[in-house]
Structure 1
């Protein structure tokens, strides 16, 4: 029984990959200027998630756990990276953008990976995401 990410979407969550290599390959295919942002986010997520699971689907990198489902997705565009939180509305101080339970923040610089973002990641690993 899959939880919907928003509205009446019928998309199914991705299947976990066999390890982190799928994320590394996805990051290599992104815009060179955005790779430092992605690498820093990836490091934070790997440290924050207990027994992390990874997937790439719909050109998005997904991070989660077996217990909580997919909690964060990274979406890389030409000049920015969106960090999406599947249960962001449940955070004490939710990210500013999004609808329903899904919230996100847009980053254009590695300097924007700050304490606030680290707090959102810490919140994400404590709540159920997309299952």
Structure 2
């Protein structure tokens, strides 16, 4: 059985689509330890914001509150999964990884990292009440 093509960094090539199904297809296609990270991110976001909207666009799962407005996305790289908080500079504390985009901040999750679920959920909660990034 063959699954979706894996792009650079092991990022699954998933057709764009709205809803939970394309996000779950993306997570299922994440290679190795990255799948566990994707499952954890999705579970924390869904538990923290039960009414969250989901989609896959540009081979990236996106989470938002309003149509075409997103507060979080994630993407596979070789050595980590990059979580993007589109309004990350407005979070307290600010996620650690800088971006070239003024409002964006990143959080990198490596293979052996333990996710602080309470801290991550607090970022998600804060991000979900901010105006989302339009895409």
CA RMSD of aligned residues (A): 2.1
- Larger deviation, residues 85-94 vs 101-110: 101-110
Counterpart for residue 125 of structure 2: 122
- Unmatched 5+ residue regions in structure 2? 1-15
Counterpart for residue 104 of structure 1: 106
Structure 1 residues 65 and 110: CA distance shift in structure 2, 3 A: farther
Q: TM-score, normalised by structure 2?
A: 0.76
1:64 matched to 2:80: no
**Over residues 22-68 of structure 1, what are the superposed CA-to-partner deviations in whole Å (9 max), with x where a residue is unaligned?**
10111122112211111011001111224211111121110111179
In 1: Cα distance, 2:75 partner to 2:52 partner:
18
1:52 matched to 2:56: no
- Unmatched 5+ residue regions in structure 1? 1-14
In 1: Cα distance, 2:91 partner to 2:68 partner:
14
Q: TM-score, normalised by structure 1?
A: 0.78
In 1: Cα distance, 2:125 partner to 2:54 partner:
17
